Structure 1
Amino acid sequence: MDSIIFHREKEGVLVELIKYQVFALCGLSLALGGCATTPTYRDECVLGQTCAPVKATSRPYQIKGVWYYPQSHYEYDEVGVASYYGGGDIFHGRPTATGERFDMNEVSAAHKTLPLPCIAEVTNLETGRQIQLKVNDRGPFIEGRILDVSRRTAQLLGFEKKGTAKVRVRTLVPESLALNNLEHPQVMLAQNNPPPALLQSPLPPMNALLYPRLPDDLFEKEEEAPVVIKASYETSEPPLPSRGLYVDIGAYRQEEETKDLLKTLSDLTKSEAKSIHNKGIKPYAVRVGPFSSMAEANQILDQVINAGHGMARIVIQ
Structure 2
Amino acid sequence: MDFNALCTQNWSRHFSIWIEDIQVVCHPVVTAPFGLQVNLLRKARSLSRYTAVVVVLLFSLHCTRPQATPVASFPDVPAAEEPSDHADAKVYTETGEASWYGGDDGFAGRATANGETFDPRELTCAHRTLPFGAKIEVRNLDTGKRAVLRVNDRGPFIRGRMLDVSERAAKELGMHGRGTSRVRITSVDTKGKPAPIDPATLLGDAYTVQVAALSDPANIARISKELQSAVGPVNLVEARTQGGVTVKRVRVGSYATQDEAQKASDLISKLFRDRGLEPFITREN
TM-score range, shorter chain: 0.3 to 0.5
TM-score w.r.t. length of structure 2: 0.39
Q: TM-score normalised to the size of structure 1?
A: 0.36
Structure with the greater alpha carbon radius of gyration: 2
Between Structure 1 and Structure 2, the one with more strand by share is 2
